[in-house]
Amino acid sequence: MSMSTASDSETITPTRASAEGSGPKNTQPKDPFADVSVSQERRVEYRSRVDELAASIPDQGLEGGKHFNELSLYEKKSVLVNRELDLMGMGRYQWCIFFLCGFGYFLDLCWAQAFGLVGSAIQQELGVSDANIGNLSTAFNTGLTVGAFTWGLLVDILGLRWCFNLTCLFASIFGFLFAAPSNYGAICFFAAMIGFGVGGNVPIDATITLEFLPKNRRFLLAALSTFQPLGTVIASVIAFGLIPSHSCATDLPACSTSETPCCTKSSNMGWRYMMIVLGCITLFIFLLRFVVFTFRESPKFLLAKGHDAHALDVLYSIAKFNHREPPTLSLEDFQALDFEESQRETNSSDTPITGGEHPVSARKHAKSVAVGGFVRTFGHLRGIFADRVFGYLFVVLAIAYMSLFWSFSIAGYFLPLILRQKGVDTDQSTADTYRSYVWIYLPGVTATLFAAALMEVPRVGRKWSMAVAAALMGMSLILFQTVNSIAANIGFNAMDLYAALLYAYTPEAFPAPVRGSASGMLSTLGRIASIVAPIAAGQVYNGSSSPGVLYLAGGAAWISMLAIGILPAV
């Protein structure tokens, strides 16, 4: 089955005629209002069409209890696009998007887990102290932070298409390079570069999935997080298959100590093989996204940029790929809405019409162009704080994200180190230790499926599901010190459950024009916390007996729970 859709160079511009037949070739529609004298017949036709469009959208289907005529021009067009996607249903294109975005979630925790799994082998070979071993996680999280911020902004500026593809390519290249050096500083640098590529995956992929899912399939947004524990499980399986058979004996010192025998590079290649395999997996996902499947730009992004014809091309292309009837929405429909908006602005404008022009200096003109370009590029971010409710929502979610990422970063990186050290203390083989990782992380898959179901439960929903999951996460991490593998199973179930719910809630909470930027900035704030967390935890890490590390992780989870408890209704 071919997974290619029409490329962006191919267009299927819909008009009223093409809604019933094949339609003409695409050309950007001529502005019907460029000529001031729009015929009375045309005006009546436009107004009649706007009334028909308004009647096709039930008020109960709109957020905030608004009527269609109370929406902004962009919101009206977005609602109509959503209607077409809802009528189209869950087709081949949507399923391809779901799985390809799921692979992005997969990579997010697969790489994060990998650094915890290879950390002890790197520490032994290079002689890294306990206080500094957390720098590897800090470097990765620094890259994640910069990546989440950069990619999160770029999706609302350049669009989703290129960001969707380049994140995986960037991560795969530096994943291969990570295996080359034997210098801890260089290894940390490549970890940061991998993080930069991976950092954009969750905010971008959540935004993309939400853009194309029909409303009755929104629960699949939480199900995306099922791919994250799969990432930890696959990383653990790869580590189990490669590291124990290609690693030094646990009692050998680093060769930097000048002792013999010592842990040499040639006898400790397992962690390098693992990173190469992960680089291959990441490259394969990039090829699936870029070569096998043709991703079409988000219609809502195109509408926000004023490219109505291109947005409709995307809808028609998706319908064709899904073998569905073409949408009924046409360029004339958007032109009718444009006309109505222009009439409203004309009638409400009190700006006097004056003739003549005033000369402007070159410096003022340059300043005007520069400021105007900045506003056009980043002005949409004001939408996050323009409304008091959304501003408050962003602040509360920022606290929740920073607390979750603090906890997740410590648990994800230091629990494997603690488990391996416990294995050494009890004479457990390296293979047994890595096998235990698989069993510990496997139940997280069921937790994310449970999260998707919880989102649809009446009177429970997202808010209280997240609060309960955060509470369980904190409790299980604190109990981990005394109850080993069982507590780990519960802990990672709760962590994956909470993360799945929070990641699904965030893009739904913000309007489409700022959805990518808001998700990206929240992820960035969370990543900043995850940079500091391993440094703080490294100061209290003491091998198998490290209660301070677990208290830091569990306490942060409870802070996140309190933040979720004061979320506003949106």
Q: Retrieve residue 145's tokens.
A: 């932070």
Q: How far apart are CA 437 and CA 427, in angstroms?
A: 17
Give the separation between CA 58 and CA 316, rounded to whole angstroms. Answer: 23
380: how many CB neighbours lie within 10 A of its CB? Answer: 18
Q: Residue 350: inside a domain, yes or no?
A: no
Asked whether residue 98 falls in the same domain as residue 154, the answer is yes
Structural domain contains residue 480: yes
In a domain, 359, yes or no: no
Cβ neighbours of residue 464 closer than 8 Å, sequence gap 6 or more: none
Task: Provide mean pLDDT across the span 254-277.
Answer: 90
Does pLDDT of 152 surpass 90?
A: no
The rounded distance, in Å, linking the Cα atoms of 305 and 142 is 32
pLDDT, position 183: 92
Residue 28 confidence (pLDDT): 46
Instruction: Give the total number of structural domains in the chain.
Output: 2
Q: Is-contact 536 529, C-beta < 8 A?
A: no
192 and 65 in a common domain:
no
Residues 80, 141, single domain; the answer is: no
Residue 365 lies in a domain: no
Quote the domain boundaries for residue 480: 92-295+386-565
Q: Mean pLDDT in the chain?
A: 79
pTM: 0.73
CA 398, CA 414: separation in Å to the nearest integer?
24
CATH number at residue 162: 1.20.1250.20
pLDDT > 90? residue 20: no
| Whether residue 180 has pLDDT greater than 80 | yes
User: Same domain for 140 and 266?
Assistant: yes
Give the phi and the psi of residue 263 in degrees, each rounded to 5. Answer: -85, 100
Task: Using the structure block, give the residue that is written with the tokens 């045309």.
Answer: 42
Task: For residue 277, report the phi and psi dihedrals to the nearest 5 degrees.
Answer: -60, -45
Same domain, 486 and 453: yes
DSSP run (H or E) holding 410: helix 388-425
Q: What would the mean pLDDT of 394-398 be, rounded to a whole number? A: 92
Secondary structure letter of residue 546 according to DSSP: -
Check: CB of residue 533 under 8 Å from CB of residue 363. no
Q: Are residues 305 and 237 in the same domain?
A: no
Give per-residue pLDDT as tens, 140-150: 988 988 887 88
Higher pLDDT, 496 or 159: 159
Average confidence (pLDDT) over 114-137: 88
Phi-psi domain of 267 (left: phi exceeds 0; alpha: psi -120 through 50; beta: other): alpha
| Nearest one of 236, 2, 271, 309 to 121, comparing CA atoms | 271
Q: How far is CA 278 from the centre of its chain?
A: 20
> Do 133 and 254 reside in the same domain of the chain?
yes
In a domain, 406, yes or no: yes
What span, in angstroms and rounded, lies between the C-alpha atoms of 222 and 505? 8
Give the separation between CA 434 and CA 419, rounded to whole angstroms.
9
Terminal Cα distance for the chain, rounded: 41
Residues 213 and 321 in one domain: no
| pLDDT greater at residue 33 or residue 419 | 419
Same domain, 413 and 438: yes
Query: Does any domain span residue 411?
Result: yes
- Asked, for residue 11, whether it belongs to a domain, the answer is no
Per-residue pLDDT for 69 more than 50? Answer: yes
- Pair (221, 321) in one structural domain: no
- How open is the CA angle 333-334-338, to the nearest 5 degrees? 120
Within 8 A by CB and 6+ apart from 412, the residues are: 109, 112, 113, 116, 232
Count other Cβ atoms within 10 Å, centred on residue 321: 21
| 211 within a domain of the structure (yes/no) | yes
Q: In this structure, are 206 and 329 located in the same domain?
A: no
| Close Cβ partners of 391 (under 8 Å, ≥ 6 residues apart) | 384, 385
- Of residues 23 and 164, more confidently modeled: 164
Q: How far is CA 316 from the centre of its chain?
A: 26
Residues facing residue 263 across a β-bridge? 254
Contact 24, 17 (CB under 8 A): yes
SS (H, E, C) 230-253: HHHHHHHHHHHHHCHHHCCCCCCC
Q: Which of 252-261, 303-312, 397-406, 489-498 has the lowest mean pLDDT?
A: 489-498
Beta strands in 20-123 (DSSP E): none
CB 438, CB 470: distance < 8 Å: no
**Do 205 and 258 fall within a single domain?**
yes
Question: Is the pLDDT assigned to residue 353 strictly greater than 50?
Answer: no
CA 296, 299, 305, 306: dihedral to nearest 10 degrees? Answer: 120
* CA nearest neighbour of 221 among 27, 550, 507: 507
For residue 105, give the nearest of 234, 240, 213, 295 by alpha carbon: 234
